[in-house]
Amino acid sequence: MTRITNPMLLVLVLMAPLAALSQPVSPTDPWGSSFQPQPFHRMAEAVTARYHGRLVAAETRPPLPEERAAGVELIYEFRLLTAQRNILNIRVDARTGRFLDVAGRGQLEARRAPRIKN
């Protein structure tokens, strides 16, 4: 067993793990300063503008592997109760606001006609 007799060396040995924690965030870190999600309420408005119904749940989720491969970093997932009493599960890219997936019965009946801008 090696014994450290120099107190300064002991301090350096004990501080080494703390130095690793103080390193700057990697530029490839998806949660760095470049990640700017859309406001949650704005995405909820986009969902209700596209589909008739009432939002009954909303949450953030990690992307599925295929979504992550496409560059998606965070998902907003909404559950919408339609007039026909069906539940639609709607996945939206939190950063871009792009609709990624809509699952459930009654999608066509619940779809609102697109608004035409003048």
Q: Tell whether 27 is covered by a domain.
A: no
Q: How many domains does the chain have?
A: 1
How many whole angstroms from its chain centre is CA 31?
A: 10
The mean pLDDT of 93-97, rounded to a whole number, is: 94
Per the domain annotation, does 14 fall within a domain?
A: no
Query: How high does pLDDT run on average in the chain?
Result: 80
**pLDDT confidence band for 21 (50 / 70 / 90):** very low
- Region for residue 106 given its phi and psi (left: phi exceeds 0; alpha: psi -120 to 50; beta: otherwise): left
Q: At 54, which CATH number?
A: 3.10.450
At residue 81, what are phi and psi to the nearest 5 degrees? -90, 120
When pLDDT is cut at 50, 70 and 90, the band that residue 59 belongs to is very high
The pair of three-digit structure tokens given for residue 39, joined into one six-digit string: 């406001």
Determine the structural domain holding residue 104 and report its residue range: 40-110
Number of C-beta neighbours around residue 112 at 10 A? 11
CA atoms of 7 and 55, how far apart (whole Å)? 63
